[in-house]
Amino acid sequence: AEAKALFSVMGMTCSACAGSVEKAVKRLPGIREAVVDVLNNRAQVMFFPNFISAENIRETIEDVGFQATLIN
């Protein structure tokens, strides 16, 4: 089955920031789609939980350099 995770992502100040988050998340295994909204400080990710967890995704966003919190 597929899961959805919405993250708060703080510290993105331009669309290139959002692009780097999207790219890093999409490179992970088990990701179906990632959409990052720089204006609202949000990242919405559709993924396959047999392959990856929301926490894995959150840590990847942090590794890019932004503070990420799972909202739901």
Under 8 Å CB-to-CB from 20, ≥6 apart: which residues? 64
**3-class state of residue 52 by DSSP:** coil
Minimal distance in Å, beta carbon 38 to ligand 9UX?
Answer: 8
- Per-residue binding string, ligand 9UX, 20-59, x by CB under 6 A, is ----------------------------------------
Minimal distance in Å, beta carbon 15 to ligand 9UX?
Answer: 8
Is 17 near ligand 9UX (CB under 6 A)? yes
Give the sheet arrangement for strand 42-47, strand by strand.
Answer: 31-37, 42-47, 3-10, 67-70
